[in-house]
Amino acid sequence: MNKHLVEIVEKTQLNSDTYQFTIHAPELSDSALPGQFLHINCSSDVAMLRRPISIFDIDKAKYTVSFVFQVRGHGTELLAKKNVGDKLDILAPLGNGFAVNSTFKSVCIAGGGIGIFPLFALLKQYPDAHKTSIVGFTSVGKFVINDEFAAISDKFIYCTDDGSGGFHGNTAQALELQLQAGDLPDIIYACGPTMMLNAIAKLSMQFNIPCQVSLEERMACGIGACLVCACKTKADSQSGWQHSHVCKDGPVFWAQDVVWEN
C-alpha cells in the first residue's frame, strides 16, 4: 500500500515562497523513482484534496526523500506551515518515473520554473553520462536550487524570461541553440509549462532525439480512479487520440505519444 504517515526531518525555506522538505520514509526511499510524485494531504480538514508534488531527491542511505514546492494557493500555504517533527499523510510513490537507460552517454534536462524539481533526482541516475542542464525561471529573483543543478551537471545553462540573468529566453529556446550547435544528447527530459514542453517536443522530433516530458494536470484521487487528470495521447482508435491520465499513465510520457494542442 502506498499510504504512509511520515515525519518531516528537515525543512528549508529556499526563497520567499519555495520550500524544501525532507521526510523519513524508508520504504519510499527504497522504491521511489525519479519522476514519480507524492500526493500530499496538506490540511487536517477532511475536505481538502491532496496536492501532487514531485520527488526532488532520494537518499537511500538516510532513508529519506525530499521534495521542493512553491506556495501557490491554500494547500501549499498550509503545507509550508508544517514543521520538522510534524507528520505528513502521503500517498507515494505514485505514477511512472522517467525511463533511465544506463547506456546513454549524454543526457539533457530542460526544466522551467517548478518543473525543474523532478529532474534533479533523475540526473543523479546518470553518474557516468555527460549531463546538460537547462533551467529557466521568470527572473533571477526566482532562482532556487541552481547550485545543486550546476554542481551535478557537466554543462549548466540558466535562462530568465526577463533577461535579468543568464540566457534571455526560455529553456526551449536555449535548448534549440544547443541542438543547432550540434550538441545532441541521447535523450531529452523536460518538465515545465505546457508551451515550453510543446516547443521542446517539436525540437526533439526535428532533431530526432528521444524525449520524455512530465505533465501536470489538476488531480483528485492521484491513482487513476477518478479520471479528472486527463491528457490527450495518441491512440490506434479512429480519432487517433484518447484521454490518458497524468496520475497513472504519467506524469512522464514520451513526447511523441502526447497530442500537443496549440
Partner 1 sequence: MNLSVNIGSLHLNNPVIAASGCFGFGREYSEYVDLNKLGAISVKGLTLEPRQGNAAPRCAETPGGMLNSVGLQNPGVHYFIEQEIPFLRQYSAKIIANIAGNSLDDYCQMAAILDDTDIDAIELNVSCPNVKAGCMAFGSSVDGISEVVSAVRARTVKTLIVKLTPNVRDIKEIALAAERNGADAVSLINTLLGMAIDINKKRPILANNYGGLSGAAVKPVALRMVHEVTNCVKIPVIGMGGICCWQDAIEFMLAGASAVMVGTANFINPLITIEIATGIEAYMRTQNYLSIEELNRALKMN
Ligand X SMILES: Cc1cc2nc3c(=O)[nH]c(=O)nc-3n(C[C@H](O)[C@H](O)[C@H](O)COP(=O)(O)OP(=O)(O)OC[C@H]3O[C@@H](n4cnc5c(N)ncnc54)[C@H](O)[C@@H]3O)c2cc1C
Ligand Y SMILES: Cc1cc2nc3c(=O)[nH]c(=O)nc-3n(C[C@H](O)[C@H](O)[C@H](O)COP(=O)(O)O)c2cc1C
Interface residues with partner 1 (CB under 8 A) are 1-3, 41, 46-50, 75, 91, 217-231, 239, 241-243, 248
> Is residue 219 a contact point for ligand FES (CB under 6 A)?
yes
Helices marked H in the chain: 26-31, 74-80, 117-123, 146-152, 171-180, 194-206
> Is residue 112 a contact point for ligand FES (CB under 6 A)?
no
User: What whole-number distance in Å separates Cα of residue 34 and Cα of residue 30?
Assistant: 12
46 contact choice in partner 1, ligand FES, ligand Y, none (CB below 5 to 8 Å, kind-dependent)? partner 1
Binding-site member from 6, 215, 221, 255 for ligand FES (CB under 6 A):
221
Q: What's the maximum distance between 2 C-alpha atoms anywhere in the chain?
A: 54
25 burial via Cβ count (<10 Å: 0-12, 13-18, 19+): buried
**Region of residue 224 (phi > 0: left; psi between -120 and 50: alpha; otherwise: beta):** left
122 contact choice in ligand X, ligand Y, ligand FES, none (CB below 5 to 8 Å, kind-dependent)? none
Give the three-state DSSP class for 247. coil
> Is residue 117 a contact point for ligand X (CB under 6 A)?
yes
Q: Which stretch binds ligand X (CB under 6 A): 46-54, 99-107, 131-139, 201-209?
A: 46-54
- In the complex, minimum distance from the CB of residue 106 to ligand X, in angstroms, rounded to a whole number: 25
Selection from 220, 222, 214 nearest residue 252 by Cα: 214
Binding-site member from 73, 85, 127, 182 for ligand X (CB under 6 A):
73
Q: Which stretch binds ligand X (CB under 6 A): 23-31, 57-65, 166-174, 212-220?
A: 212-220
